Structure 1
Amino acid sequence: MDIRRRNNVTVTGCTDGPVLLLAHGFGCDQNMWRLVVPPLAENYRVVLFDYVGSGRADPSAWDERRYSLLEGYAQDVLEVCEELDLRDVTFVGHSVSAMVGVLASAKAPQRFSRLVMVAPSPRYIDDDGYRGGFSADDIDELLESLESNYLGWSAAMAPVIMGNADRPELGQELTTSFCATDPDMARVFARTTFLSDSRTDLRTVTTATLVLECKQDVIAPREVGAYVHAAIPGSRLVTLDATGHCPQLSAPRATAGAIIEFIETSP
């Protein structure tokens, strides 16, 4: 199988520079990184891709059984790494992709040197002693709405997820991205995302890790960032002066700057 075509892999930046692998979240594609790529590409080799079921990835490669588990998305990551023979990779994962990076690095630790977790959440549903931001009923209602009327759900939820009500163009961009995703594939990815519980997987992380959170985020509240930081020994927690769940769009300079500073100052 042509992995580059399957996952719409693109490579830019400094050919001989350290590798950054950027992984998008639910309902998005690699285009969501476009504002942070230029400053990163000055000194790094930047690799971008779309998960199967998202963006311009090959839809014929879709396998509902595979992509009903986060491990299926982690396998996409590993196959991209193998195809390009990537090593000493700094994996930058947004939202659910932060947990995909945890799984991928556990399976192939020789390929990854650092993890950057942008607005991560290991579990979205509240639990005893844990605040994920949503009750079980909240998630059931969210998934029911998404499955019954995906386009309507996208139009209603994307601006909430994005935040920044004073910049409606950001919410509209996320809405457009959601609506461009095949509804049947999006439903599977949504259930995989919002019903996941990767808290125990955090214990497997041995690479240098940066946890990037926003000062206000309805999807991943700051209690979640604190939890992830505490669960990964030696990790760094940086709170961006940004609002919403997509700082790579709402605060791209700060996001890129935090990533670069982490790489330059970590082992």
Structure 2
Amino acid sequence: LAENYNLVLFDWPFSEKRVYEHGKYTSYEPYADDLITIMNEMDLKSVTFVGHSMSAMIFCIASTKQPHLFKRLVLGNYFPNNIIALHACIIAYAPIAVDPNDAVSVEKFKNCLKNMGVEVAISLAKTVFFSDYRDMLEMVQIPCTIIQSSNDVAVLLNIGNYLKEKIKGVSSLEIIDMTAHFPQLTAHLKLVELLKAVVVSGPAQI
């Protein structure tokens, strides 16, 4: 992707326990505000955003606040009421959430969770598991591409159709033939090919 697009990568505050503010990040809105701040600081506009799981909802929220910043949203393996995804973010279930046949990706996922620290992980879990933004979907006017795994223990296939139906922006649903919740780990080549197909041709920022 970097050969044809300008990529902007960033980490969410929970990625590093030293910068995480427990009292601030009790909902997705502060994350959306952080995202908007980053975009304004970098003078980014009409951007195609690629987000997975909770990041997908954060992007949706940000798009309702400042829609001119976004050209398209690519939403991966996302459910707007994330309480059903509880087991997908517990270390003991990493082989289920990732893919039991992909030991490298399982270990990578475990390490990401461990790097958060216990306090950050618990705080994030409370925010994720008890968030319900289904009512906000109808406020999303930006065109969306919804990407879903064919066999995801956390997000069932019918969820993709639900999102496509509820989001007001022109939306399409793409299914990746894979097992588990993280295509960026266990099916990254398929994901990259799909991203190439769905993003708008020509110079863009992803």
- TM above 0.5, yes or no, is yes
Task: Note if 1:59 corresponds to 2:18.
Answer: yes
Q: Which amino acid aligns with 2:153?
A: V
- Deviation of residue 226 (structure 1)? 1.5
C-alpha distance in structure 1 between counterparts of 2:181 and 2:73, whole Å: 18
- Deviation of residue 248 (structure 1)? 0.9
1:167-186 equivalence runs, <5 A: 167-186=102-121
Deviations 1:169-228 (A, max 9, x none): 211110111111122112111111111101111111111100000000011111211111
Q: Which amino acid aligns with 1:236?
A: S
Q: Match for residue 255 of structure 1?
A: 191
Deviations 1:36-60 (A, max 9, x none): xxxx1011111111111214xx824
Q: Match for residue 211 of structure 1?
A: 146
CA contact (8 A) 1:159 1:174 kept: no
For structure 2, the residue ranges without an aligned partner over 5 or more in a row are: 202-206
1:65-76 equivalence runs, <5 A: 65-76=23-34
C-alpha distance in structure 1 between counterparts of 2:183 and 2:172, whole Å: 17
For structure 1, the residue ranges without an aligned partner over 5 or more in a row are: 1-39, 126-132, 147-152
Q: Which of these residues, 117, 122, 135, is aligned with residue 200 of structure 1?
A: 135
1:1-267 equivalence runs, <5 A: 40-55=1-16, 59-60=18-19, 62-125=20-83, 133=84, 153-154=90-91, 156-162=92-98, 164-233=99-168, 234-264=170-200
Q: TM-score by structure 2 length? A: 0.90
C-alpha distance in structure 2 between counterparts of 1:106 and 1:59, whole Å: 30
CA contact (8 A) 1:53 1:182 kept: no
C-alpha distance in structure 2 between counterparts of 1:63 and 1:104, whole Å: 20
Q: Which amino acid aligns with 1:247?
A: P
- Relative contact order (alpha carbons < 8 A, sep ≥ 6): 1 or 2 greater? 2
C-alpha distance in structure 2 between counterparts of 1:63 and 1:88, whole Å: 30
Q: Which amino acid aligns with 1:54?
A: S
Q: TM-score by structure 1 length? A: 0.70
C-alpha distance in structure 1 between counterparts of 2:37 and 2:200, whole Å: 27
List, as ranges, runs of 4+ consecutive aligned residues in structure 1 with deviation greater than 6 Å: none
Q: Which amino acid aligns with 2:51?
A: G
